Amino acid sequence: MISSFEGTNIYTKDTAALAAFYSEVLGIPIPFEGYGNFDGAKIGFDKKQPGIIIWDATKWEKLTTGFVNLVFGCDNLDETYEQLKAKGLDCQPPVTMEYGGKEMNFRDPDGNHITLLEGAY
């Protein structure tokens, strides 16, 4: 049976650029840079934990299907918002949600939805 969650696959036409967005703009480590020439890369906080796996759509002949929403936690979302704005990210300020946590939503360069969350769901 299923024993673990490995991560979420995203297929893109520019793996290196999308990996750079997650690592350089959002500050998420790249514990695995793929099999040469950025055929794929894992974005996450530890190679052995689940992460986002970015694959070269032109090589692997896959397309992004369905709606993808990646959710990341933050200790201080207001501070994170200011840091991301300083890096040139076009995003709206965080809002306090009905459940009491704060959220900020934007898209990566390929149009995938990203939610930054402060506080539990």
Domains of the chain: which residue ranges? 1-62, 66-120
Q: Is the pTM of this model over 0.85?
A: no
Q: What is the pLDDT of residues 17-39, one digit of tens each?
A: 998 999 999 999 988 776 566 67
Least confident of 37-41, 74-78, 101-105: 37-41
Instruction: State the pLDDT at residue 55.
Output: 81
CATH topology of domain 1-62: 3.30.720
CATH number of the 66-120 domain: 3.10.180.10
How far, in Å, are 1, 30, 52, 67 from residue 22 at the CA level?
A: 32, 8, 10, 19
Element housing 114 (H / E): strand 113-118
Mean pLDDT of all residues belonging to the chain: 83
